[in-house]
Structure 1
């Protein structure tokens, strides 16, 4: 029996969305400042433009870099951003919130899931710092999370393959309420081995450096930025469908 291996591409602009769509990606995670911060919430205009392409869009909802603990004001903004993304047509959102001890912040996550309504909720790589991933996975399922993005706790997902296999097997044994997506430094050559570990999907950014045209001023930062590499995206989809 053939199994459909899902591929999610992390992109930062509409051009990246169109590349992912043309290659046949299942969905995109939409964010900004990926290289510098690990990804932050994209502006609402970008979400709207990405949704208009017709590809399922899952914006990252993360207001700042740093840890994954949020005070009441920060949580209020996160909830507002989730609602705004869903109103703009996002198929899902990508969130995460932890306590100071590294456990799931159930109150925060419950508020975020409620704000998402019928949209899918993915728990991001905050999962990679929890001390007991299997217990946390069960808790996430109880709270309404549909998908977990994880590297298995490693810098690169391929190096966390054994943990990914354990987490994926646990998810299946408890009814598959949460799907496991491998992400973190994924290369095309890793994709077959990651799916062999039993994950449901892979996530990669397929980035390459670019230089902005025109004159740069002191207030504009570096002229360098990242764009989505269409050759890597097509190769990733070919590897996943092989």
Structure 2
């Protein structure tokens, strides 16, 4: 079985590095350090033009929980239309009610707006009240897959629930393991759980190419080095790909 290798990226340099490493699908985001937010329209458009593999855009207007206001939903609908106009193959969504159930009504709105595109339900399922009911709701919505760590802090610790999800899905929806997937555990996660897709960032940093490093002014938090550029490590992706093969 060929295991799908999805790589999440938040800049165009990483897009090319992920594909060179063997990614079979890209999740396009901004702000991976915050768990991934909606990418800009310009990023979506350029990714659609330059990628040789399918690209799905994260539709998440802010960091934090997955309970969204009507204003948030309006933004998300506009972003879905942008992803469609940019020529991307799919979107990535995850919405919950205040009680921790899948927000079926608002998901249906976004899915309708994305008509003709693929839909992934993301790790919002890992914060739900009842994962079995949530998975059933996601299947009812006809999403293609669900990204999950098996309700744990990482997919390795979540293997028992991932296995249960694969059994419940019965091939009607793909279960994609994500969070903490790496060269050391990916083979065991796949073989133990039966997941058909895995998700990772493979992040590293590269030094800035600027010759001038002005260290007094910071663009963000003091702990962030403005001259260390986060990028996908092509060699990490290659190593995971080889482990899967």
Contact 2:99/2:129 (<8 A) preserved: no
Q: CA deviation at 1:219?
A: 6.1
CA distance in 2, matches of 1:146, 1:225: 33
Q: CA deviation at 1:23?
A: 2.5
**Correspondent of 1:189 among 184, 190, 198:** 184
- Matched with 2:83 is 85
Where 1:193 maps in the other structure, the secondary structure is: helix
- Matched with 1:206 is 202
- Matched with 1:230 is 234
Q: CA deviation at 1:130?
A: 1.1
Q: CA deviation at 1:209?
A: 2.5
TM-score normalised to structure 2 length: 0.92
**Pairing of 1:93-112 with structure 2 (within 5 A):** 93-112=91-110
Structure 1 residues 185-194 or 119-128, which shifts more? 185-194
CA distance in 1, matches of 2:113, 2:205: 35
**Correspondent of 1:164 among 162, 165, 176:** 162
Where 1:157 maps in the other structure, the secondary structure is: coil
CA distance in 1, matches of 2:83, 2:54: 12
- Matched with 1:38 is 35
Structure 1: gaps spanning 5 or more residues: none
Structure 2: gaps spanning 5 or more residues: none
**Pairing of 1:1-242 with structure 2 (within 5 A):** 3-35=1-33, 37-53=34-50, 54-172=52-170, 176-196=171-191, 197-214=193-210, 215-216=213-214, 218=217, 220-221=219-220, 222=224, 223=226, 224-241=228-245
Contact 1:6/1:240 (<8 A) preserved: no
| Runs of at least 4 residues off by over 2 Å | 209-222
CA distance in 2, matches of 1:211, 1:76: 38
Contact 1:152/1:161 (<8 A) preserved: yes
Across the aligned residues of Structure 1 and Structure 2, the Cα RMSD in angstroms comes to: 1.4
Q: CA deviation at 1:213?
A: 4.1
Contact 1:171/1:177 (<8 A) preserved: yes
Aligned residues: 235
TM-score normalised to structure 1 length: 0.93
Give a deviation string over 1:9-38, Cα, whole Å, max 9, x none: 111112211122223221010111111x11
Contact 2:21/2:235 (<8 A) preserved: no
Contact 1:194/1:202 (<8 A) preserved: no
